[in-house]
Amino acid sequence: MHREYENIYFIGIGGIGMSALAQYFLNQGFRVSGYDRVRNEMCIRLEKLGVAIHYEDNINMVNSYFKNPENTLVVYTPAIPTTHSELNWFKNNNFKIQKRSETLGNITSHKKTIAIAGSHGKTSVSGISAHIISNTEKSCTAFIGGILKNRNSNFIINAKSENIVVEADEYDRSFLNLEPSLALITSVEEDHLDIYKNLENISSAFQDFANKTKHKGIVILNSKINPEFKENLRKDLNVYHYGLNNENCDFNLYNIRYENGECRFDIKFLKDDLKNIKYIFPGNHNFENVLAAASISYLSEVSLEEIRKGIETFKGIVRRFDYIVKNHDHIYIDDYAHHPSEISAFLTAVRQIFPDKKLTVIFQPHLYSRTQSFFKEFAKSLSIGDDLILLPIYPAREEPIPDINSELILNLVSIKEKQVCEKNNLIELIESKKPELLVTMGAGDIDQFVQKIKNIFVK
């Protein structure tokens, strides 16, 4: 892969997907460097591996090694603005430039690729799948959109294994660069309407993704996906379904029970059963994710006992139902939820485990366009809490939209205790409240507060 190049330069190297690619190329013996706007935890990890990173958009800060178009590939993320001066310098000087998804497509094209797509849950499913498979003789390389706690990494490498587990991102139609041997779709819902405009276009893109699966390959669908979806898939594909408490599915997770703070359930596979599996993450969305990963593993010929062991030893993913504090006085959980249905699923699960505690919710909306599309749905899902603190909208790649702000959500939330709080006042507010059950949610920079909030409860 890319052996005509010696150097790989990343624009936006600190992103969760970009940093995994950077680690891959580093592992393969390439010279790697990059730019990012902010020195985040992923950048620090890469620096410790010897990667030179700078944090100013300035072509003069790029090492001369990476200024030769003959031997340098430039990889960038769609989050980078078109006005970025380094990106434009590389364009104007005839460098080979690829989006992250194109590069990932090239890496995986000749391997047995397991690609997990969906509006929600793809990071969790790819993380659990990679954890299960990597601990068997088959093993795998994996590019995960979150930090796997078992490995403290978003990247697993096994150069000898044919298996590659990847998260297939629908944003910007990135997943159409993949040609998987096995494709799984967790959900097809309205999101990224700045790209797709409506659900029909989203569904069509997911069908295109599934149809990129190799000849006679496997497609696994959540049983909640519209049955008409399957009708547009290629006839040579082997299509399976998974679902909770659904005997009509090829893979069925049932008999869910809670005992002493942990969950137990049974799974029916095509011709096999696995009983009394222990799992530490509650809530139907988490059960669907672990069932999806078990289905992938089973169809990848992983044994039942290896599947059980993988599920029972899985420690989770950073920012996915992530217990930060759990003691007698305080419970604090952080989650990446940033879409109304994710918020609803997460808060419902929290309520399920802690029905008698007052639930304080901190949420940072992500993107003006998403807020504009879903402010009513956000208000409804956030009303599951008892006390709501909303942060201002995190803009990411967007310019502000007139009259679109966090107050728009706040005004429709049905609970009485609610407010918008500026980021610089957040810690002081939490210190004054000292909530017994606190959750933080969002896909912006709310994660930068996690340690500071933890320090309030753990002194």
The domain covering 322-457 belongs, at the CATH homologous superfamily level, to Mur ligase, C-terminal domain (3.90.190.20)
Instruction: Tell me what pLDDT residue 313 has.
Output: 98
Tokens of 439: 């959750």
Provide the pLDDT for residue 231: 93
Q: Give the helix, strand, coil percentages of the chain, each rounded to 5.
A: 35, 25, 40
Q: Alpha-carbon dihedral of residues 395, 397, 398, 404, nearest 10 degrees?
A: -30
CATH of domain 7-99: 3.40.50.720
- Quote the pLDDT of residue 192: 62
Cβ-proximal residues to 229 (8 Å cutoff; 6+ apart), any chain: 188, 203, 206, 207, 221
Residue ranges of domains in the chain: 7-99, 109-313, 322-457
Residue 167's pLDDT is what? 95
pLDDT score recorded for residue 273:
97
Would you state the pLDDT for residue 198?
A: 86
Q: What is d(CA 344, CA 381) in angstroms, rounded to the nearest whole number?
A: 5
d(CA 202, CA 272): 35
Residue 284 neighbours by CB under 8 Å, 6+ apart: 244, 345, 348, 349
What does residue 275 show for φ and ψ, rounded to 5 degrees?
A: -105, 150
Exposure string for 142-153, b = 16+ CB within 10 A, e = fewer: bbbbbbbbbbeb
What pLDDT sits at residue 172? 79
- The amino acid at residue 195 is I
- Facing residues of 266 across strands? 254
What spatial distance separates the first Cα and last Cα of the chain, rounded to whole Å? 50
**Order of strands, sheet of 96-99, starting from the edge strand that comes earlier in the sequence:** 52-54, 31-35, 7-11, 72-76, 96-99
pLDDT tens, 200-226?
888 999 999 999 999 999 999 999 999
What is the model's pLDDT at position 2? 53
- Copy the structure tokens of residue 440: 């933080």
pTM: 0.90
Per DSSP, the three-state class of 329 is: coil
Residue spans of the chain under pLDDT 50: none
CATH superfamily of 109-313: Mur-like, catalytic domain (3.40.1190.10)
Question: Comparing 7-99 with 322-457, is the CATH topology the same?
Answer: no
DSSP designation for 175? G
How many CB atoms are closer than 10 A to CB 15? 23
pLDDT given for residue 171 in this prediction:
80
Q: Residue 331 is encoded by which pair of tokens? A: 């419970």
Token pair of 81 as six digits = 């603005």
